[in-house]
Structure 1
Amino acid sequence: LQFDTACSEDMLDRNWQRLILTHLEEREHVGVLTGSPITDMKITLVSGRAHQKHTEGGDFRQATYRAIRQGLKEAKSVLLEPYYEFRMELPTEQVGRAMADIQKMQGSFEGPWMEGEMAILTGTAPVSTMRGYQTELISYTKGCGRMFCSFKGYESCHNQEEVIESIGYDSERDLENPTGSVFCAHGAGFLVPWYQVKDYMHIEAIDTIRKEKEDFARKEMSVKTSSYDDFISHDEIEEIFDRTFGTGSFKKRRDIGATRQVIEYKKEKKKIETPSEASFLWKQRKEEKKEAIKKQEEYLLVDGYNIIFSWEELKDLATVSIDGARNKLMDILCNYQGFKHCELIVVFDAYKLEGHPVEISNYHNIHVVYTKEAETADQYIEKLVHQIGKKYDV
């Protein structure tokens, strides 16, 4: 957490500002979703007010704590959960099972990298879903698989609503961390719920200050614009024309301009009224349109892994890193697409990944497709050619 002040000392004395910052730092503040400690925030004091007679030291402690709760209730909070950073080593034939399991655990991974008959996967996953997975890994790899985990940090909770509901925390009933504020009237204090505080507060909130600045800037811009628009009016222009060219000249010139436009339009229209000329132009435009469509709608479909394992350079690279071979092929295809100016789609097999849907993404100027479970690249390309072959040059 970071604490700062942007409040003018003309509004609130420095000693009161220091006291507020002390109260911000002296305790652990909890959130409004589950009552867990808050983190990754910067809290800035922007305005405040004190009274020489009525303000006491304890007043600012309560006001500070309640102001934080007020801000948390108005803001959109995000629940965080702990994440593991993992490394898996397992036989290559079980890689598909491991990658599917990682996706089910809401994790992400890189690789696989091949080392002989073993594959290596690295990535991150929530602690709540990956806890105990090492036992399962050893089981389905028959003792050949290993996993190493270390604490990575906190990231957004993958099932926030479910966790909030299971904890059942109610910020409105937390008496140790109240969300309402206390106001005084006629010498007595009364409690105001957080959603009504802005109706009672005596100082401007930061969003009000920002809105006033935006309104001022908008008005200033409109004044500048209107000064240009109103520099010379329509009547003044007409008066100048009448004095210079005679009465009614401005209207005549406008009528002449409109007539000239109509005449030119009719002349242009007359040029293609001859049947032979119209037929020739129609055929010419049709041929140009066909040629443009032909140039724009040329497709090239590539089976990615077939190219990798047929090309010696890429095949050697794949033995070290299959991911590196894929990226190398895609870079080559990007250059080829820039030369041919066609729509290029490279398809990779993902048929061994359990539950994997079709995944389509863009890589620079080409399209990359990973097939769904139990579908090879050949099957996907054949199906795509059947769908678009009649319309496009494939």
Structure 2
Amino acid sequence: MSNKINIIFFGRLTKEKGVDIVLETLQKYQNNDKINFWIFGKGDKYFEDKIKEVDRARAGVKYLGWQNQRTIKKYLGKSHYCLMPSRFLETFGLSALESISQGVPVIGFAKGGLKQFIPKNLDINRQKGQNDFEKLDKIIKQIIDSHNNEEYQKISNQLKEKSKEYSKKHWIKNFEQIAGRNKRILVVSDFIENIGGIENYILETDKLLSQSGHKVDKFGLDSKLVKYRKFLMPLVGFNIFGYLGLRRKIKQFQPDIIWIHSASRYLGWLPLINCNGKTCLMMYHDFGYFHPFPSKVYEQNQIEFELNFIDFIKAGQTKNPFKIAFIILKFFSIKLLKNTIKKNTHLHLVPSEYMENVVSKSRNIDKKNIKTLAHFNFS
């Protein structure tokens, strides 16, 4: 490591991801020769343009836009800290896990799925300040003033050790304690093409399960249709095509276990009727089952109860008639989906322990039917 402190950010450039305070930080430290910032990602044009301005003004800020995982990992390996100030609740924090597996501490809001990866001294919420930028600024100043390579290396090694708790070996052991060994597993999800997020996790899980002696097949929109996903989403209310397709797939594959990952964006409730009488697992990857706009869920108490019709519309925080119409349609779609999942699911799985309360309280499900199955490190 050089004497300069390297800080990396990678993710969507949106306010929900905290990019507004990232931008303020770049602007404040653009003339500081003790620190470098590497920014990856695309998103709101306003943030892209502003970050490009700072990049052009100073060599210490480098905006690299969208890049593949290999390039990000290369820069992550040279970084001292990873900036991850997501305001909304993360269900887990795969990017944070990737960061600590490289020995890189994470700076952010220690809540939700990120709480387990952010130490107290790097938790923005624990700092004093009038706003989020001032609180983050306290951390950046502390990093610059007290950075010690020897002490840092000890912390870095501890993080690498911690990341081993999320190894593939640990994950498969935990999964087989739940589901058993050498099973025929049908993975069901809205999309089974790698478009990021849940889909990336599904493909990596598929490989790991297959390597461990399980027979795995998948059902969902594939590469031929995934590009039309925005036009197919209205089917979520009454998806007869999904119903017939899943029925045919179950008959052909004869699974021991049906593992549902995502059904709120395309499949909807109707195809899941096919799970009746089968051993079915449900994995909760996002808050789309609990709230009209998952990226607006900032605190756990927003979703720790079942929203009725009026509360669901209020949670959307909009007066736009088109958005209200969308929220109303989503409410009834989610209600049907919730009832179908509850009726046909044997075990509900969550990636972080705090979500056990969320699923239990918002879905009125006995905690004995909910288990935490943490994600694993892909790299």
Larger radius of gyration: 1
Superposition TM-score, scaled by structure 2 size = 0.16
Superposition TM-score, scaled by structure 1 size = 0.15
